[in-house]
Amino acid sequence: MLRHDARRLAASDDGMVSAPTRKNSPGGVGEYLMTLAIGTPPVSYPAIADTGSDLIWTQCAPCSDHQCFKQPTPLYNPASSTTFGVLPCGSPLSMCAVAPAPAGCSCPYNSYNYTYGTGWTAGVQGSETFTFGSSPADQTRVRGIAFGCSNASSDNFKGSSGLVGLGRGAVSLVSQLDAGRFSYCLTPFQDTSSTSTLLLGSSASLDGITGVGSTPFVASPATALDTFYYLNLKGISLGTMALSIPPDAFSLNTDGTGGLIIDSGTTITMLVDAAYRQVRAAILSLVTLPTKDGSESELDLCFALPSPKSAPPDMPSMTLHFDGADMVLPPESYMITYTENSLWCLMMGRRRDGEMSTLGNYQQQNMHILYDVGQETLSFAPTKCSML
């Protein structure tokens, strides 16, 4: 029934679902939020848009303060919706039906404990009607979406009311809608007033946009999760300086280790040590400001600005050399200024060699990005996202 609804959606007038996307509120966790509504009558909630996971979930009543984080909207109450149902364990969208079943999954109530790189959430899988679109004129309702009704979570998701998984697994929103492709354009990181739209379906396109580059997704090895969008990053340059990074630094190994993914739900780009050391050294060679401890901001390389009003020094663009396309990052997409303590920091971190590297959302700001799941490609173009 769900796939039937998705195909009917694709054949509708606009062939898409859309959701306003905005930067997290001040004091949040550095994420981008999409707004959608759940249940009948529909209850709107802001959720982290995460291409690095699959589960769609929101916090559900009842949920005590010590079990759930404080969220900006009322808790969704399944007892108040006429379209809520517990997802049967025999459903192909049940997380318990995956072989091997993830830890914490149990039947007959289809309970789950879903973990992330940082944080976790636990509850029961349900089935609901979801409403997309910011106004009655462009709203689309889709029945039978499998989602997580969480009644216990860590506090890593503050500023949101849950999360929408946009990964490649069966329970993600992309897969459940049979969308084929989706796009987003993340507004500047410190601009909390602008919004853009996440599109799923036929209207997700970069047609007519100049400067588009495309790179193929790397196939996941059989031992790796099928959630992630792996990319082949071949090298990094800072200005005209090609960094001496080993050619296999970002290789995806047959045992599922290594590789690089693009992840809208992670803020800071994380590079394996062999690459990070080269980036760090190149920046140090160009900056004459004194270094300063940035551990309070959980960043490794920071510089002291003369005063809170001081502009940072000019820096060249950083280029990520992907298979078939270059992604050019202006300085404001890899360095960040904290005016309150006169810090100017590199928004990248270190992973151990052999671990998975991640292209985070800070480096994706002001980039119009299209995930074409059917064609197995990622396309992108520099764009002023607040103008879309």
Report the candidate in 190, 288, 275, 187 with the shortest Cα–Cα distance to residue 238: 275
φ/ψ (deg, to 5) at 62: -85, 145
SS3 385: helix
**Residue 1 pLDDT exceeds 70:** no
**Residue 17 pLDDT exceeds 70:** no
pLDDT at 65: 77
pTM exceeding the 0.85 threshold for the entire prediction: yes
**Residue 212 pLDDT exceeds 70:** yes
pLDDT at 4: 25
Measured from the Cβ of residue 381, the count of other Cβ atoms closer than 10 Å reads 17
pLDDT at 102: 64
List Cβ<8 Å contacts ≥24 apart for 129-132: 129/38, 129/39, 129/40, 129/42, 129/83, 130/36, 130/37, 130/38, 131/36, 131/37, 131/38, 131/42, 132/17, 132/18, 132/19, 132/36, 132/37
Which residues are known catalytic residues? 50, 263
Which amino acid belongs to residue 64?
S
Preceding omega of 312 cis (within 30 degrees of 0): no
Task: Collect all residues with Cβ–Cβ distance below 8 Å to 184 and sequence separation of at least 6.
Answer: 21, 32, 49, 196, 197, 198, 199, 264, 368, 369
User: d(Cα 368, Cα 381) in Å, to the nearest integer?
Assistant: 5
Do 272 and 278 form a contact (C-beta atoms < 8 A)? no
Task: Tell me how far CA of residue 324 lies from CA of 53, 275, 364, in angstroms.
Answer: 26, 20, 18
Q: How sure is the predictor about 130, in pLDDT bands with cuts at 50, 70 and 90?
A: very high
pLDDT digits (tens, 9 = 90+) for 326-375: 999 999 999 999 888 899 999 999 999 999 999 999 999 999 999 999 99
Share of the chain above pLDDT 90, in %: 68
User: d(Cα 35, Cα 25) in Å, to the nearest integer?
Assistant: 13
Q: What is the mean pLDDT of residues 120-130?
A: 95
Structure-block tokens of residue 335: 């360095």
